[in-house]
Every structure is written in C-alpha cells, then in structure tokens.
Amino acid sequence: VIRVPAEDLMRLGTALFTALGAAEDKARFIAETIVEANLTGHDSHGVIYYLTYAERVKEGYIDPRAEPMVERETPTTAVINGCWGFGQLTAMKAMEVAVEKAERSHIAAVTAYRCNHVGRVGYYTAWAARRGFIAMMFLNVGHPIVTVYGGRGRVLGTNPLSIAIPTGGDPFLLDYATSIVAHGKVKQALLEGERIPRGWIRDREGRETDDPAALEAGGWLLPFGGHKGYCLQLVNELLGAALTGSRSGLDPEEGPPSTNGVFAIAVKPEFFIHPKVFEERCRMILDGVRRCEAEAGMRIMIPGEPEWETRRRRLREGIPIPEALRRSLIALAEELGVDEGLMEALMGKPKRGLSVGMDEES
C-alpha cells in the first residue's frame, strides 16, 4: 500500500477523464467526487472507479461529452435527462436544481433518468447540507445483484439512499446501500485478496460464504436490517425506477451497467424554524446522544462522523492505494498517454514537488 495525496489523485483523474473526452472542468469535478469517496473512507467508490468509468466510456455506455439537461420544470419540481453522460454530472445537476428551487420555494423535488452510476451519494446531499438545506436522495440501481427479504437469487440493485441535515459544523450524513454493504466493498475485498464477513452474501446455491469471488460467480448480496431494510430497498426501487422512468432491476434489458434512477428533495429549514434555533436543537440532541453511556468496546458516533474523521486524517496522511490498484491505474494512465509526472507519483517516485508516503494506514 502506498499513500498518495488527494490532490495528486485528483490531477490524475482530471487528466484521465480529459483524455477520455470530457471537458477539463467536468473531468476535474468527476475526479473530485471520486477522490472525496476515498477521503471519506469509502474506497469502494474511490479511484477504483477511474478504471470502471474508463471501460464504460470505451464500451460506449458513458458519453463523456454529454451534459444533463432540465427537460421539464415548475417552480418546485424538475425532470432531468442525464443523456447518458457521467452520472456525477447528472446527480450534481439534480441536487443543484433542487437547492435553487428550494431557496425560493422552501422545498423542491427533482427526478433524473438516463443517468449512469453517480458514485458516492453522500457527496451531493452533504454539498446541499453545507449550504443550509436538508437534502435527501433515493436511488435505484438497474443492475440486479441483491435478493429480497426471505428470497433467493438476484432481484434488485444495491439501491442506496442518503439524507443530510445541516446541524452546524459538519453535517449529519446518512449514506448507504440497502444491501448489507455496497457491491464495491465485495469487489474491493476480492481485489485485495481478503475474506468478507459471513452474512454479507450467499453463493449461487444460496449458501453462506466468506469468499468474495462467490458473488461474481452467480451469488447475491442480502438486504440489510431484515424486513425493515427490505422495505427501504423497495422504496428506492419504486421512487428510483418507477417515478423517474429509469430501468428497474426487474426489467429485461441489461445495458448500460449500474444505471441510477435518482429522486432528490431539498428542504430549507427557515420556513419551519429559525436556522440558528434548529442548529442549536440538533446540537443538543446529537451531543446528548454522544454522551450516552456506551456498551463495552463501543463508541457512540453520529452518522457522518466516521466520514469526516477519516477525511481529516487522509487529507493529512494521503490516500492508501493497494498495489494491484496502483498497477492498474498506471496501466490506464499509460494507455491514455497522461502526463509522466502524474504516473511517477503513483509509482512512488515523486517528481516536480509531488510527495508520496509509503507507510501503512494507521
């Protein structure tokens, strides 16, 4: 494992996505959302996706030049057509439009379709919460890999949701898949040669296993939280696929891979309560929760806290990049002919002021 400064990974991503055909400002934004996933500890949605998205551009699933457009709108609603560009651009547009409208009308809801994979959903909701809005995103994934409560076989996608609330300082941030873990966490364990906890997936025969390879070999993920998680998994499918007009895990067609149907809501707290009073009440509640007595070996954290803590640490210490991923990124950079200085940074030979540490993650 080497450690690479976030800024270097962003410059690498900007160069890669530009080489793949995206405009430079768009390339930089896509890279930023991806590196933010690493910074906040979600390596499953980090620079490993430079490889996936490059494949999808080459296969023609992502149009690197397409820009999302508002197809229909009222003062409080909008429908966005992602035009099969990078999903990050579509998700950001959906959240931006929702926030602009909520700024004027207190609340707004936006759907997006023809949307490729948007990456870490919390990026967009946290962005809105940092601007003072309560933000929600419900998504389905058009790639069936998760079973339903009590079921066998692949039925729906990992259907994530995120809710961010401005509480003063770093926002409260709920952001997860409705499968026990994101699909990418199983792929990552496979890449790093690790076993996974039993109970994350079943193999193709429906048996419990700790072998991550069993998922790609016809196995499936389980929804989280028993019947309660399953209810949310279906909420995301109904809102993400049916309301937005995006592909459901149950539709027969398969491509493009990992499409996201997006339903976004932004709410301005001011109408309901003075923002300062709201923040104070939130603080009182969250601080009270934090002070409650913890079980042995446990620490009480607020949703979002693990992300913001990891972010501060990784900004200081760099982002750990496992050897296999490092080699794949170098191969992609070579293939696309990106600047040598960036590649050397990834190879552990700093050039032109780039610094690369070599220690293990603490």
Minimum CB separation from ligand NAD for residue 197, in Å? 12
Q: Is 49 in the site for ligand NAD (CB under 6 A)?
A: no
Q: Is 174 in the site for ligand NAD (CB under 6 A)?
A: yes
Query: What single-letter DSSP state applies at residue 181?
Result: S
DSSP assignment string, 333-346: HHHHT--HHHHHHH
Q: Which of residues 130-169 bind ligand NAD (CB under 6 A)?
A: 139, 141, 158, 160, 162
Q: Is 303 in the site for ligand NAD (CB under 6 A)?
A: yes
Please select the residue that binds ligand NAD; options are 11, 56, 114, 117, rule is CB under 6 A: 117
Cα–Cα dist 280/274, whole Å: 10
Minimum CB separation from ligand NAD for residue 42, in Å? 5
Q: Is 119 in the site for ligand NAD (CB under 6 A)?
A: yes
Nearer to ligand NAD, 41 or 357 (CB): 41
Minimum CB separation from ligand NAD for residue 160, in Å? 4
Cα–Cα dist 252/323, whole Å: 38
Question: In this structure, which amino acid lies at residue 267?
Answer: V
Cα–Cα dist 139/233, whole Å: 9
Q: Which residue has the tokens 């990418």?
A: 184
Q: Is 45 in the site for ligand NAD (CB under 6 A)?
A: yes
Cα–Cα dist 41/291, whole Å: 25
The burial of 151, by beta-carbon neighbours within 10 Å (0-12 exposed, 13-18 middle, 19 or more buried), is given as middle
Please select the residue that binds ligand NAD; options are 151, 257, 275, 306, rule is CB under 6 A: 306
Q: Is 26 in the site for ligand NAD (CB under 6 A)?
A: no
Q: Are the CB atoms for 346 and 4 separated by under 8 Å?
A: yes
Q: Which residues bind ligand NAD (CB under 6 A)?
A: 42, 45, 117-122, 139, 141, 158, 160, 162, 173-177, 181-182, 185, 260, 301, 303-304, 306-307
